[in-house]
Structure 1
């Protein structure tokens, strides 16, 4: 589950499931934090590890933390990323980001970023619905032991090994973090993109309450998503408006 910033200072929860609009995250009478759909059906429950959860708090970095009676963390959204990571968040080896199916469908999609146990971050496509991994279409080949993928508070992303070696993934200045919010997301068309959003927009919002500004792209990884067999065999790949589309022959 991931917490992201939205229009008019709203926060949004994202999970790798088809969570309908109007769903609620709440604490029940058994001190459990559960996500219910509008009909009250349970969609997700936070693990407690035998302890009693008493409260939840959203940290300044967007990490949603559930605390027990001793104020120790029992669950954190930063430890269960979906398709998005936030500044200050770290992916450890064996962690994955999984794309959604479409712009509006948050079920598990075809593409994933895996920080493998050899320290190499790799972008894969999966055959759907078989879930079979297809050929990787991006890898840094940074075989660092004890690697971490770090997304800094300043909006930069890099791989760091246990020996201190680093590999920078950010090639474009993301802008001042005093001016912009930043996120990184593996989009439903398979590109890992870094985005920024103005913290304060002086443009008046419309009478309908829509956002005066939106997330804008800083950088996409890989640069050419039509390379390396991204679209699979017997397909035609093309890029339009920064998005990758393919058709089966």
Structure 2
């Protein structure tokens, strides 16, 4: 929905960080440094005290750190930016602000792990951790680099995304490596949520879009804005805006805000009371998110979907996706509940136990309102449910059959993609084939196969 612009006003499980430099508030002089250590705690603090810049220690390692920015006045110390999620810094690593290179993060052996990459020939006058959560490397009369221009998984009030900018989810709840989900402000002015086929750069079909590209009756988007009142909107070329958040049930005076592409692919706006103390049970609360149902919104042709291959996506009570392997399947990686599921048996053609009926080898689990779209290889109609079941049972390639609409039978083969629970299927049945007992391969006579006696 578009409105005139003028009415609007413009968890992470981590351990405490440590550094060898004294805490500095506001302006940072060239030559200042922070070191990842375990003997004291210091950082570069914004003038308001709301944000801090420094090292955060990963909870699953005794000597690895993130260079990060976080909300400093709340117990969670929630990260809003980090430089080296794919390459955590070891104990003893050092961040220094150089006059000719800007920010440089180096290992104890002197290897450069990350830098702010200011333009050649530019001279740095200093740095500033500002009150909006933006760290800036400053020249004599310009900003040479700023964290707001290089978001990771979170954007903050007053932050703007220009065309081509990307916000990338982290890999999992505890891994800060780059994940699959992305918020992209496209060159055509459309803001989309999509997934990427790692380790490549292939973007899959979007599962959410604002529809703000140029059209016959609409002006294209030129920037994506998170204003200081907590509203998210796309600003159009003609001055109108497309509001994502229609209502903010909290005041920026009393609450912190952040908008995050979570590791599960949901883009959510969160609020947190500013008055929270170490003894408080206050926490981040989701006040808005898209899409409403990511399980049914996502449909990709060249990847697994929200969950891994052969998995099923469903929504929990908070509207967030959960993934589960169906009967007869288990996770390839037990530590990644959003990952691929493998069958605990082998579906094979021409390698079954001779003389054993298929009815004795396989059975079906009936799943209501479940489907794996795009995995079809045959549509049979008109068919009864029993005909659908028997056809899949005696088809060595069939792993599941979908019976819907009274007389239609879709047969599917592995791997199954885009698995979801979809109430819109109106009671449609997924007939999932699984093996009754352990797989015993047929033992053929090797000599006969080789043509000898």
**Fold equivalence (TM over 0.5):** yes
Are 1:77 and 2:147 an aligned pair?
yes
Between the aligned partners of 2:205 and 2:94, the Cα distance in structure 1 is: 38
Please report the RMSD computed on the Cα atoms of aligned residues, expressed in angstroms: 2.7
Match of 2:448 in 1: none
Instruction: Give the match's secondary structure for 1:51.
Output: coil
Match of 2:315 in 1: 239
Equivalent of 2:197 in 127, 145, 149: 127
Match of 1:51 in 2: 122
1:28 offset after TM fit, Å? 4.7
5+ residue gaps, structure 1, are none
Q: Structure 2 length normalisation: TM-score?
A: 0.49
Instruction: Give the match's secondary structure for 2:184.
Output: strand
CA spacing shift, 1:89–1:174, aligned 2, 3 Å:
farther
CA spacing shift, 1:14–1:188, aligned 2, 3 Å:
same
Alignment of structure 1 residues 166-245 onto 2, 5 Å: 166-201=241-276, 205-206=278-279, 212-228=281-297, 229=299, 230-231=305-306, 234-240=310-316, 242=318, 243-245=320-322
5+ residue gaps, structure 2, are 1-66, 214-218, 300-304, 325-340, 342-415, 417-453
Match of 1:91 in 2: 161
Equivalent of 1:110 in 166, 172, 180: 180
Match of 1:14 in 2: 82
CA spacing shift, 1:57–1:9, aligned 2, 3 Å:
farther
Match of 1:65 in 2: 136
Q: Deviations over 1:193-214 (max 9, x none)?
A: 101111112x5x25xxxx7433
1:105 offset after TM fit, Å? 1.4
Between the aligned partners of 2:228 and 2:151, the Cα distance in structure 1 is: 17
Between the aligned partners of 1:138 and 1:217, the Cα distance in structure 2 is: 18
Asked if structure 2 preserves the Cα contact closer than 8 Å seen for 1:113 and 1:186, the reply is: yes
CA spacing shift, 1:214–1:47, aligned 2, 3 Å:
same
Asked if structure 1 preserves the Cα contact closer than 8 Å seen for 2:162 and 2:224, the reply is: yes
Higher relative contact order (CA 8 A, sep 6+): 1
Equivalent of 1:33 in 103, 120, 137: 103
Q: Deviations over 1:214-245 (max 9, x none)?
A: 32211111111112225277541112353323
State which drifts further: 51-60 or 180-189: 51-60
Instruction: Give the match's secondary structure for 2:148.
Output: helix
CA spacing shift, 1:2–1:115, aligned 2, 3 Å:
farther
Q: Structure 1 length normalisation: TM-score?
A: 0.85
